[in-house]
Amino acid sequence: MRTFKQIIAVTALNLRNISQRLASSAVAVVGVAAVVLVFAAVLSMAAGLERTMLSAGSENTAIILRNGSTSELNSGLSNEQTLIVSNAPGVLKDGNAPIVSAELYVVVDVKKRSNQSDANVPFRGVQASAFDVRQNVTISDGRMFEEGKNEVIVGRSAQQEFMGLETGKTIRFGQNEWVVVGTFDANGSVSESELWTDVRVLQSAYRRGNSFQSVRVKLESPESIETMEQALAEDPRIDADVLTEREYYSSQSQGLVQFIKLIGYPLTFLMAIGAVFGALNSMYSSVSVRGKEIATLRALGFGPTAVLVSTVVESVLLALAGGALGGLLAYLVFNGFQVSTLNGPSFSQVVFDFAVTPELLGQGMRAALLIGVVGGLFPAIRAARLPVATALREL
């Protein structure tokens, strides 16, 4: 109990005297803040992309692709095969009608608002039941496209990120003109990066005959996917992969998310090394300036443990202050910042927001804590071992 009281007393004294070494303390705080800021900024890209991709995924919805396809772009299914999928066991029905959407997926060039450069944007042909298959997709402006007409509806994120997609605009892709008749929201998911139209019109415009690239189905239950997968595997007329939407979008985002993390963690580690040296400099400076003060405390009966722990605590508090500052700046500057990037498997742009999540901020604060402990430990050992008689002779 006596040692604990000594630690509190010495720590309070240390904090009151920070103003005497404000420059070195500020260097330590800013160094840690920079580490947490960069860490949160870089990894918020991965978190935002992952959230955008996975928020479109549901365990109650399955996507069927040709066997071996890595994405919808290189998949292909005949009309007969889509009918086989529609009548497979496990598909939820509305009355006698299965809730399915056979779809076509192409990529078109649209200019970015930010720099007017061309970007690959997904253009999806869907059936009328597409809204029933997917969760949380609603028309937020204008109206639904009419079947058989060159009309499109545009995802909210795509409309914000790319030029010429406002409701009422006419856009040209290849030899065809299309009228934007509405905007849809999809709860911030990857679907909002897309343009949608009637699948039969898109087949005709891109000369795809009666072929499709994927089928989305609403399942009776998440467990129904196993029944469907087995039934399709036993049918010689179709060779298909059956995935839940969540599995599919996870596989689509995994490569890019891992790449961002591969950059973010080593960069943060290198910056953390610099921050540790900043903390070391600050705390060594503190010990040097307070040598006489520490000796006096020791002479008054304060033990070396109290001096050691209080020095580490001071370093940790400075580091945590830096961590909190860096986290706050990251949240204010980057959270919700909208960008688009090329998703490799689909060869098209995905629009997403940076997400500075509580988990990321927690990781940043843990990194700050570690920097504070490492940066304060060695100066603390020096302070605890400072010879009392030598220091007192300098008084």
- Report the mean per-residue pLDDT for the chain: 85
Residue with tokens 């945590």: 320
Q: What is the pLDDT of residue 165?
A: 95
Domain limit, last residue, from 213, 238, 263: 238
- Percent pLDDT > 90 in the chain is 46
Q: Do 227 and 288 have their domain in common?
A: no
Contact status, residue 283 vs residue 332, Cβ threshold 8 Å: no
**Does the residue 355 lie in any domain?**
yes
**Does the residue 247 lie in any domain?**
no
**Average pLDDT score over residue span 41-55:** 85
What is the pLDDT confidence band of residue 286, given thresholds at 50, 70 and 90?
low
Q: Is the dihedral of CA 149, 92, 74, 207 positive or negative?
A: negative
Residue 73, pLDDT > 80, answer yes
pLDDT digits (tens, 9 = 90+) for 143-179: 999 999 999 999 999 999 999 999 999 999 978 999 9
Residue 1, pLDDT > 60, answer no
**Average pLDDT score over residue span 92-103:** 93
Q: What is the pLDDT of residue 75?
A: 92
Q: Do 147 and 182 have their domain in common?
A: yes
Q: Do 79 and 183 have their domain in common?
A: yes
Which contacts qualify for 126-132: CB closer than 8 Å, 24 or more apart? 126/101, 126/196, 126/197, 126/198, 126/199, 127/100, 127/101, 127/102, 127/103, 127/199, 129/97, 129/99, 129/100, 129/101, 130/101, 130/103, 130/196, 130/216, 132/94, 132/99, 132/101, 132/218
**Does the residue 59 lie in any domain?**
no
Domain limit, last residue, from 238, 268, 285: 238
Q: Among the residues of the chain, which ranges form H helices?
A: 2-16, 22-54, 79-86, 130-133, 156-161, 199-205, 224-233, 245-289, 291-299, 304-334, 358-385, 388-393
Domain limit, last residue, from 205, 238, 271: 238
Which of 85-99, 153-167, 235-249, 276-290 is the least confident region?
276-290
Cβ atoms within 10 Å, residue 174: 10
Q: What is the pLDDT of residue 300?
A: 66
**Does the residue 231 lie in any domain?**
yes
Query: Residue 108 sits in which domain range?
Result: 68-238
pLDDT digits (tens, 9 = 90+) for 251-268: 887 787 888 888 888 888
CA distance 275 to 230: 56
What is the number of structural domains in the chain?
Answer: 2
Q: Do 175 and 323 have their domain in common?
A: no
Q: Do 86 and 220 have their domain in common?
A: yes
What is the pLDDT confidence band of residue 294, given thresholds at 50, 70 and 90?
low
CA distance 315 to 381: 13
The model's pTM is 0.78
Residue with tokens 């029944």: 227
Q: Do 352 and 328 have their domain in common?
A: yes
Q: Do 44 and 75 have their domain in common?
A: no
- Percent pLDDT > 70 in the chain is 86
Q: Do 202 and 306 have their domain in common?
A: no
Q: Do 319 and 287 have their domain in common?
A: yes
Q: Do 314 and 353 have their domain in common?
A: yes
Q: Do 86 and 233 have their domain in common?
A: yes
Q: Do 232 and 286 have their domain in common?
A: no
Contact status, residue 99 vs residue 217, Cβ threshold 8 Å: yes
